[in-house]
Amino acid sequence: MLLLDGQKPDFDFEKMLNTFAMRHHLRVWKRPATLMGKPVWVSAATHDTGIELSQEQRNFIHKIDSYIDRERAKVVSDLVFTGKVKSLALVERSGVPREFANATGDKVYTDGAMAVLMF
Residue 74 domain flag: yes
Rg, C-alpha atoms of the chain: 15
State the Cα–Cα distance between residues 69 and 108, nearest whole angstrom. 10
Predicted confidence (pLDDT) per residue in 35-51, tens digit: 999 999 999 999 999 99
Residue 21 domain flag: yes
Residue 27 domain flag: yes
Residue 6 domain flag: no
The predicted pLDDT at position 17 comes to 86
Helices within the chain (DSSP H only):
69-81
How does residue 58 score in pLDDT terms, banded at 50, 70 and 90?
A: confident
How does residue 24 score in pLDDT terms, banded at 50, 70 and 90?
A: very high
Average of per-residue pLDDT across 66-88: 96
Residue 44 domain flag: yes
Residue 4 domain flag: no
State the Cα–Cα distance between residues 106 and 119, nearest whole angstrom. 34
Domain count, the chain: 1
How does residue 63 score in pLDDT terms, banded at 50, 70 and 90?
A: very high
Domain that holds residue 61: 11-118
